[in-house]
């Protein structure tokens, strides 16, 4: 009866953190207090399983009554029952564990439980229910050992030896499963009467154990302990007014950000230039046809002028004398030009006297003037022959040619 069970006491120095982290993860579905108690019971099982299997089994029972739907709890109870030889309980708990977790990792132990119940044929049948290739290597090796034991139970010694001839049987390499595999192989060799070979494999098993222990010894390596703490979160601990203040501050910050964005001035985009303006820009002129102003580059080399653009003044005596001579020469040139201009004016007057042209005819060409004179001559002598008119036209042309 469940009511008659008294859970063993838990030592004060045993804590929930003593349990392996992977196992504690499965207890996350429990409330904190219950998870702590279950973890401490499972930690006690790990401490007592080798020295006191019965006490370990009691702690496993206590854990299962508190967390019967947790896979690691049912698995632990099965292992302690197996250690005590209670194969029926162990098999039942292992089946429950397999159903909860969907894992086949404990299939070798289930096969051994069938053997313990005196059912080697059923043990072999159970071992064939799963493809061994899909199992992890350590589990596959344990299953081979369990199948070999079932063959021994049936008196099939050579078949038992064949069950152990697997790729993992390497005498020069030590894995976590090597000592058990070597020892099982040596036992079957003894049953076959091969004592020398059996002794050799027993020695290999011992050497594998030593090698694994040496590899597991951390030596001077640093050990890091990781602990987990449960933190209760009280929703009432948060001040509603304080949360409102925080929200108000956030709202003010958002408003300030929006105001900053709105205050940024955006320069208007210039409208497209008209076609004539674009053309003027391409040929280097302004739209009104004038030359562009200010095209000279800034910072050109000095040209010897003063900053205001005037030439420097030379005040020496030689310079003054040269300037006076230049002025006198300019006066003489001006007098000659005036005389020449007067002569040109007289010639122009004579020419205008010979050829008086009405103002409205000023724009006519020389040929038009000739035709006009010819028509006047024709009007004066209407009865003159045509060749005489032509001659007079020719004479008029001759008279005009040197004066044109």
96 and 160 part of one domain: no
81-127, pLDDT tens digit by residue?
Answer: 999 999 999 999 999 999 999 999 999 999 999 999 999 999 999 99
Residue for token pair 């203040």: 245
54 and 147 part of one domain: no
**In residues, how long is the chain?**
404
60 and 22 part of one domain: yes
Q: Answer yes or no: is 145 within a domain.
A: yes
Q: Is the pLDDT of residue 259 over 70?
A: no
Domain boundary among 69, 103, 137: 103
90 and 112 part of one domain: no
Which range is least confidently modeled, 23-27, 42-46, 317-321?
317-321
For the whole model, what pTM was predicted?
A: 0.55
Domain boundary among 193, 218, 243: 218
Q: Is the pLDDT of residue 37 over 90?
A: yes
- Cα 399 from Cα 67, distance rounded (Å): 145
How much is the pLDDT for 84?
97
Mean pLDDT score, 251-275: 51
108 and 156 part of one domain: yes
189 and 88 part of one domain: no
- Cα 112 from Cα 91, distance rounded (Å): 9
Mean pLDDT, rounded, of the chain: 75
Which range is least confidently modeled, 227-231, 280-284, 321-325?
280-284
Q: Answer yes or no: is 8 within a domain.
A: yes
115 and 36 part of one domain: no
| 231 — pLDDT class (breaks 50, 70, 90) | low
Q: Answer yes or no: is 111 within a domain.
A: yes
287-305, pLDDT tens digit by residue?
Answer: 454 554 444 444 444 444 4
Please report, rounded to a whole number, the percentage of residues in the chain having pLDDT higher than 70: 55
Q: Answer yes or no: is 324 within a domain.
A: no
Q: Answer yes or no: is 185 within a domain.
A: yes
How much is the pLDDT for 350?
47
Q: Is the pLDDT of residue 61 over 60?
A: yes
Mean pLDDT score, 270-284: 45
How much is the pLDDT for 183?
97
Q: Answer yes or no: is 380 within a domain.
A: yes
108 and 210 part of one domain: yes
Q: Answer yes or no: is 310 within a domain.
A: no
Q: Count of domains in the chain?
A: 3
Mean pLDDT score, 268-279: 45
Mean pLDDT score, 134-160: 97
Compare 22 and 261 and report the one with higher pLDDT: 22
113 and 186 part of one domain: yes
Closest CA relative to residue 80, chosen from 44, 31, 120: 44
Please report, rounded to a whole number, the percentage of residues in the chain having pLDDT higher than 90: 50
159 and 88 part of one domain: no
- Cα 260 from Cα 264, distance rounded (Å): 7
108 and 63 part of one domain: no
Domain boundary among 198, 218, 238: 218
**CATH, residue 168:** 1.25.40.10
Domain limits for position 13: 1-103
Q: Is the pLDDT of residue 397 over 60?
A: no
Q: Answer yes or no: is 238 within a domain.
A: no
**CATH, residue 31:** 1.25.40
How much is the pLDDT for 105?
96
């Amino acid at each position: 009866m469940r009511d008659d069970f008294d859970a063993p006491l838990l030592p004060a120095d045993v804590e929930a953190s003593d349990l392996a982290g992977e196992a504690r993860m499965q207890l996350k579905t429990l409330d904190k207090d219950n998870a702590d108690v279950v973890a401490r019971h499972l930690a006690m099982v790990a401490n007592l399983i080798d020295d006191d299997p019965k006490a370990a089994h009691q702690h496993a029972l206590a854990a299962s009554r508190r967390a019967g739907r947790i896979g690691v709890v049912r698995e632990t109870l099965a292992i302690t029952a197996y250690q005590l030889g209670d194969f029926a309980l162990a098999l039942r708990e292992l089946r429950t564990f397999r159903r909860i977790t969907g894992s086949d990792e404990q299939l070798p132990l289930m096969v051994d439980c069938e053997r313990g119940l005196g059912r080697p044929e059923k043990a072999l049948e159970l071992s064939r229910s799963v493809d061994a290739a899909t199992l992890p290597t350590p589990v596959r090796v344990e299953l081979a050992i369990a199948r070999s034991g079932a063959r021994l139970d049936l008196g099939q010694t050579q078949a038992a030896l064949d069950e152990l001839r697997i790729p993992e049987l390497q005498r020069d390499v030590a894995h976590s499963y090597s000592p058990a595999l070597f020892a099982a192989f040596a036992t079957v060799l003894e049953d076959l009467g091969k004592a020398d070979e059996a002794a050799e494999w027993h020695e290999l098993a011992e050497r594998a154990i030593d090698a694994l222990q040496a590899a597991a010894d951390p030596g001077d390596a640093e050990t890091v302990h990781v602990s987990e703490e449960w933190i209760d979160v009280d929703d009432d601990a948060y001040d509603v007014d304080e949360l409102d203040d925080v929200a108000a501050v956030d709202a003010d910050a958002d408003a300030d950000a929006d105001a900053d964005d709105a205050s940024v001035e955006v320069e208007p985009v210039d409208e497209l230039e008209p076609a004539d303006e674009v053309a003027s820009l391409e040929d280097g002129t302004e739209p009104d046809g004038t030359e562009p102003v200010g095209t000279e580059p800034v910072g050109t080399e000095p040209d010897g002028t003063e900053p205001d653009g005037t030439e420097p003044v030379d005040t020496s005596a030689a310079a003054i004398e040269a300037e006076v001579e230049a002025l006198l020469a300019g006066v003489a040139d001006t007098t000659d030009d005036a005389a020449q201009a007067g002569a040109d004016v007289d010639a122009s007057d004579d020419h205008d006297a010979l050829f008086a042209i009405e103002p409205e005819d000023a724009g006519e060409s020389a040929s038009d003037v000739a035709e006009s004179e010819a028509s006047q001559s024709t009007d004066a002598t209407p009865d003159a022959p045509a060749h005489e008119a032509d001659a007079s036209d020719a004479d008029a042309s001759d008279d005009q040619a040197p004066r044109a």
